Homo-oligomer: A and B are copies of this chain.
């Protein structure tokens, strides 16, 4: 990026933390330089590289210890760590993840929880929506919901919805009942049931299989994938709606089919969500971290 956070060039690699840490022939610096080498001028030293995500995990490049909620964006940037690099052309900063430590019985938002990478998206979101108060959803394999108020992330909750859906639809007995047909009404019905009968989740799952076995008419069988998806996303959303306070709103960071499903599930309960593109939000967060880091180093 240039100094005004305009993107000058982009590159990406499929190599994540586990692939790099698990291969003797790969190093984090090597993978980074392999991606950006062509952009680096041998005459210019210490080009700032700002990194978020699993590179800062204990098994990553260099551990950037978690910041604990409640946290403001500038606190996060000040927790960045700098691994020693062999290449003099770059100066690397790895941003910390975010954690939440149990606060004891009764403090329902205080469950043990962690994120790495999503906190930078949240910073980008907050930068673009400075007056936002409510819950920001980052759907995915492990969906993150963060409560934002007064310019701080005050609490967050991770839901294993994406991973549970994948395991159930691909590896459980339900894999035989999950076809490609989709049915909005079946999805909405499952979302509604998840809120009125959240304790029935493990039973509702089995109806995906049983519906096809007991139907007297195959046209009566609701779409298995829609019911499964509605049950899982519906349970996650029901839990957040129970925590939504007056005056708080919901924002959804993401695009494509998954974000649409979350919007549809929220709409079942009469909720509309502000939706934003995840890629732009991440760049905004990294850019803001860079601004904070460079101002801090100028003060030194």
Contacts and interface: CB of A to CB of B under 8 A. Distances in A.
A245 interface: no
A86 interface: no
A207 B157 CA distance: 9
Given A108-B197, A167-B168, A173-B163, A158 B203 contact: yes
A114 B164 contact: no
Contacts of A161: 202
B172 A111 contact: no
Interface residues of A, number: 50
Contacts of A159: 202-203, 206
Interface in A175-228: 194-195, 197-207, 209-211, 213-216
Interface of A: 66, 99-102, 108, 111-114, 142, 157-161, 163-164, 167-168, 171-174, 194-195, 197-207, 209-211, 213-216, 232, 235-236, 238-239, 242
What are the 7 A-B residue pairs with the smallest beta carbon separation, nearest first? Answer: A198-B199, A199-B239, A112-B210, A159-B202, A112-B211, A158-B206, A198-B198
